[in-house]
Structure 1
Amino acid sequence: MFRRFLATSLSRSSPPPLLHLHPKILQTPNSLLRPYPKPTPSQSLPPNTRSLSSHMGDARRPGSVPIPHVERADRSELLRALEASLGSAFSSEPLWPSPSPLIIVISGPSGVGKDAVIKKLKDSNENLHFVVTATTRPTRPGEVHGKDYYFVSKEEFLTMVERNELLEYALVYGDYKGIPKQQIREELGKGYDIVLRVDIQGAQTLRKILGNSAVFIFFMAESEAKLVERLIDRKTETKESLLVRVAMAREEVKHVKNFDYVVVNAEGRLDNAVKLVESIIDAEKAKVQQKRSVI
Structure 2
Amino acid sequence: MTDRILIAPGDVLAQPAAFKRRGLLFVLSSPSGAGKSTISRKLLADDDGLTMSVSATTRPMRPGEIDGKDYHFVDLQTFKDMVGNNEFLEWAHVFDHRYGTPRGPVEGMLEAGHDILFDIDWQGAQQLHQLAGGDVVRVFILPPSMIELENRLRGRRTDSDEVIDRRMARAHSEIAHWDGYDYVLVNDDAEACFAKVRTILHAERLKRSRQTGLIGFIRKLDTQDI
The structure having more radius of gyration, on CA atoms, is: 1
Deviation beyond 4 Å, 4+ runs, structure 1: none
> What is the aligned partner in structure 1 of residue 135 from structure 2?
213
1:100 corresponds, among 10, 22, 45, to: 22
1:223 aligns with 2:140: no
3-state SS in 2 of match to 1:116: helix
Q: Which has the higher contact order (CA 8 A, sep 6+)?
A: 2
1:115, distance to aligned residue in structure 2 (A): 1.1
Query: Hey, what's the Cα distance between the residues in 1 that align with 2:92 and 2:211?
Result: 26
Give ranges in structure 2 of 5+ residues lacking alignment: 213-226
Structure 2 letter corresponding to 1:283: A
Contact 2:22-2:114 within 8 A present in 1 as well: no
1:277 aligns with 2:197: yes
Distance 1:291 1:172, change over 3 A: farther
Query: Hey, what's the Cα distance between the residues in 1 that align with 2:119 and 2:56?
Result: 12
1:193, distance to aligned residue in structure 2 (A): 0.5
Distance 1:153 1:277, change over 3 A: same
Query: Hey, what's the Cα distance between the residues in 2 that align with 1:208 and 1:192?
Result: 20
Distance 1:208 1:198, change over 3 A: same
Q: Work out the percentage of aligned pairs sharing the same amino acid.
A: 35
2:156 corresponds, among 221, 234, 240, to: 234
1:173, distance to aligned residue in structure 2 (A): 1.3
Distance 1:277 1:291, change over 3 A: farther
> What is the aligned partner in structure 2 of residue 6 from structure 1?
none
Map of 1:1-295 to 2, 5 A cutoff? 82-83=4-5, 92-94=11-13, 96=16, 97-266=19-188, 269-290=189-210
Contact 2:89-2:127 within 8 A present in 1 as well: no
1:129, distance to aligned residue in structure 2 (A): 0.8
3-state SS in 1 of match to 2:86: coil
- Deviation sequence 1:240-278 (CA, Å, 0-9, x none): 222121112112112111101123222xx3232222111
The number of aligned residues is 207
Query: Hey, what's the Cα distance between the residues in 2 that align with 1:245 and 1:184?
Result: 29
1:163, distance to aligned residue in structure 2 (A): 1.9
1:236, distance to aligned residue in structure 2 (A): 3.0
1:98, distance to aligned residue in structure 2 (A): 4.1
Contact 1:102-1:194 within 8 A present in 2 as well: yes
1:291, distance to aligned residue in structure 2 (A): 8.3
Contact 1:99-1:290 within 8 A present in 2 as well: yes
Give ranges in structure 1 of 5+ residues lacking alignment: 1-61, 64-80, 84-88
TM-score under structure 1 length normalisation: 0.64
Query: Hey, what's the Cα distance between the residues in 2 that align with 1:146 and 1:251?
Result: 30
Q: CA RMSD in A?
A: 2.2
Contact 1:170-1:177 within 8 A present in 2 as well: yes
